[in-house]
Structure 1
Amino acid sequence: MPRSVSLRPATRQDVDRIYRWRNDPDIYRWFREQDDELEWHDHVEWFRNRPADRDDLMIEYLGRPVGVVSVAADGDVGIYIGEKRLWGRGLASAALEQALDGSDRTLSAEIRAENTASQRLFERHGFETVGRDGEWLQYRRERSE
């Protein structure tokens, strides 16, 4: 697992980069809340109005932003690597491990049934399938005692 992966809070300086990633069909096809490209003003509005109780963290590899991991107050977790040339290198796993390190609460994720890479990622980090909603699988990791 890459040791040169770090996390930091997403800032306004990341808006352009996140916009580019969120408008890549190879990425947004896995998002539950998005099924087409975004308009710039909608993206900026989304970024500005993100819930204050959600941690949106930039994933950095060798000091460069490569993706995003989010953990909401209700325990919902989402992650993507926006730099496709870095897919399959363990960066998401390293980032997810850091983002969830020490968490003692129940966590959840919704993953498209055909997204086997994300399913394996979450399963490696202790999540189990607990249900299905159409094409979406519900995953949960129970809080540690």
Structure 2
Amino acid sequence: MIRSVSLRPATRQDIDRLYQWRNDPEIYRWFRNQDEELDWHDHVKWFQNRPEKQEELIIEYMGEPVGVVSLATDGDVGIYLGEKRLWGKGIASEALGKAIEDKKEELSAEIHVDNTGSQQLFERHGFERTGQEGKWIQYRKPRSR
């Protein structure tokens, strides 16, 4: 367990950092709904118009923002580390575990077929592969009792 990983809600102060991360081609190549750099105004509009109950959680490692866990109102989960120097160190696994540990509802994720690291990450946290649509594998984590 990495004790220096914590989660907090994204705030307006994170908007520049999120924009930088979301515009990195090595990161957005794994996003289902983004295949090019974002326009700043579109990014701000996205941030301001997120559903009220959607959670955009900033992953902090040793007190520094390093990534995001997103929990949509329909139970869809997404995660990325924006600080690539920290990839492969277990931070995403710790963050995902913390983000979903108290969730009782069914959760889902869609992961690109080439993103084996994310596939393994979600499978370690109880997500099961349920299908595939083109290059996207569907995962479900059954409702907790």
What percent of counterpart residues are identical? 68
Partner of 1:31: 31
Instruction: Report whether the alignment pairs 1:72 with 2:72.
Output: yes
Q: What is the letter of the counterpart of residue 33 of structure 1? A: N
Q: How many residues get paired?
A: 145
* Cα RMSD (Å): 0.6
> Which runs of at least 4 in structure 1 moved beyond 3 Å after TM superposition?
none
TM normalised by structure 2 equals: 0.98
2 CA distance for matches of 1:129 and 1:66? 27
The alpha-carbon deviation at position 144 of structure 1 amounts to: 1.5
2 CA distance for matches of 1:105 and 1:41? 34
Residues 13-56 of structure 1 show CA distances to partners (whole Å, capped at 9, x for unaligned) of: 00000000000000000000100000111111111111111111
What SS is found at the alignment partner of 1:137?
strand
TM normalised by structure 1 equals: 0.98
2 CA distance for matches of 1:130 and 1:68? 24
Partner of 2:84: 84
Partner of 2:124: 124
Partner of 2:8: 8
2 CA distance for matches of 1:2 and 1:47? 29
Could you tell me which runs of 5 or more consecutive residues in structure 2 were left unpaired when the two chains were aligned.
none
1 CA distance for matches of 2:6 and 2:144? 24
Partner of 1:41: 41
2 CA distance for matches of 1:127 and 1:6? 22
Could you tell me which runs of 5 or more consecutive residues in structure 1 were left unpaired when the two chains were aligned.
none
